[in-house]
Structure 1
Amino acid sequence: MKKLLYAIAVSATIITGCGKDDEPTPTKVPVEGEITGDITANRTLAFGNYTLKGMVKIQSGVTLTIEAGSTITADKSNGEDGLVVLNGGKLIANGTSDNPIVLTEKSKVAGSWAGIIMYGDAPIVNSATAPAPQVATSEDGLSLTYGGSNAAHNGGSLKFVRIEYAGQVITTNNKEHNGFSFYSVGSGTVLENLVSYKGNDDGFEFYGGTVSGKNLISYGNSDDSFDWQDGWRGQENTNWFAYQTGIGNYGVEVETKGVNNAFWPKVTNITLKRAAGTVTEAQSEIQLDAFQFKANGNGEFSNVVIDGYINQTTPTAFTGGAVQIRDLVTYDNQVLTGKIKITNVKLNNTPTVFIT
């Protein structure tokens, strides 16, 4: 757990004894640089500090590698900034517990940039009638096509990566970017030890695909901690942690756009915690449950801790709960058929177990 919390805890300094004849370890000097425009050839960003300018796109057939310990800083005064991995491109960003890769924003204000957006061609399902392979258009302002039949799509490897202050408003549709957005990303992609910190929308969102995530932390994001749609079906998800504080909606929001799928994603070991006094974005709506399922959304969750999903402390009192089923079709097609499974649950300060 200490490694999981590397982004929100002060790392202990390990001091080792050295003999007087030992040579001192050379200090690695960080480089300074800028990332802008399209990445059209393989490139490695050596350990250092970089400024991100604009929506930087890693093109198909190209790999961008970021060395451990690097910091990449966006600046909202320049407009819309983000790091985009197009289908066929790869991002290799493998930090370590001692030297994570940090992508942040200069002002340190939530909603200041677009985060990491990755595209693939793994399967999606967003229509009950369209033939496979299905495709859709992204909602991130780029309006790119995603979807396909390549379940093993490989968009690279993200390990020990922290994103801060994402959630910028998209000018074309007035929606917000997430911390991490995965559009039909496949199971060949590695997602491990990732933190989405104090963004203005969801911490992590999966738009279909087959990718799985291990050791994911969503901290202080103002919409949902984890969100998915389009028939996401990751099967090897484990060790997810969400902490909602200040403003936050659902711990987990699940939908499939009304399609009654025969499959569902699986998550083992998930903790959803809501700090006292946390309010929803729109105080006229009840959006403070740990899990919300709608439009035939489903999933299997085991070893679950739910803490603090209770009445909202505003003039309009809302009652939170562990699970909310938003519509009758989801109850009939998913709950009654066993396609929503939540087992081995521990509830703390969450009085309502099930809301319909």
Structure 2
Amino acid sequence: MTASAASLFDSFRLGDMTLPNRIAMAPLTRNRAEAGLVPGDMTAQYYAQRASAGLLITEASQISQQGQGYQDTPGIYSPEQVAGWRKVTDAIHAAGGRVVIQLWHVGRVSHTALQPGEGAPVAPSAIRAETKTYVNDSFTETSLPRALDASEIPGIVEDYRKAAANAVAAGFDGVEIHAANGYLIDQFLKDGANRRSDSYGGSITNRTRFLLEVLDAVVGEIGAARTGLRLSPVSPANGISDSHPQALFNHVMDEVEKRHPLYVHVVEGATGGPRDIAPDFSFAELRQRFTGPWMVNNGYDLELAEKVIAEGEADLVAFGRPFISNPDLVERLRRKAPLNELKKETLYGGGAEGYVDYPTLDDAAR
């Protein structure tokens, strides 16, 4: 590393925020929302414990009941949910942190038990997601979706806009649009899930249309400087695929660049899995097409994170599961201290155990 190279622990200017370091906490579903899918006091404690991250990105939060795909995930569409999130953001800010909420519509990755009137989940096309969801305290095959009528799409775009407005009302510093991991926006993007023959299907331009309508609506409501975007170009998460991902995401980045969002957050490789599943895909090519802040994610350890920051390949690095078991992950990385072991059996659902009871270095020293 040269004397002028950036460090993972340097501050970074992101929109109107000055981040104390370049480490982000990635969005992590924990299935602990309370009645009405409202985040509770324990959720406020959980995020405040992790406020030393340069940026916190909350667990994905649905923009409507239709957008829900898993049991006990929080929403950002009701007054009660907004009030619950306000307690969370207040706790984070009191602890010195900065936070954006991830806006979510799962599309076909859902189950009739979670949908309004127990109807079918919605998707670009009526193709079942080859994956499971979490319903009634167990993992269950997803339900067969129905294809959205073109007349329904503007209403979903409006739900994103309202959710962004709600996020600001709840005290968030911004939002991250979830366009990754096989959920609704990703389903529109990728031809393995989108077989439409109208203006939202077929060509790359058409398949990108829904993403850009959502991005424009959110930017129009809260401004580009408070709007981030997450993408996973080659991840097969939730049974998603595309026949020509490089061409697709080159086009996506050319269009996103015109809109100057707060950042782009990219999952490199398979979400939560191998980084090298698409050796012919060039993430560097995407990076060259976007002049704004670039956040990378998936399988990063301290050494790799330091390398990509020092070499200018990324501006921010998002860590996922290590933040679950290490509320003071930033300090542990700084000191090269050992990490707590993750309790996988407490990842989804439950109470305080495996949620707010992981010790910090200071706890261990007592």
TM-score (norm 2): 0.28
Q: Quick check: which one's strand share is greater?
A: 1
Higher relative contact order (CA 8 A, sep 6+): 2
Q: Quick check: which one's helix share is greater?
A: 2
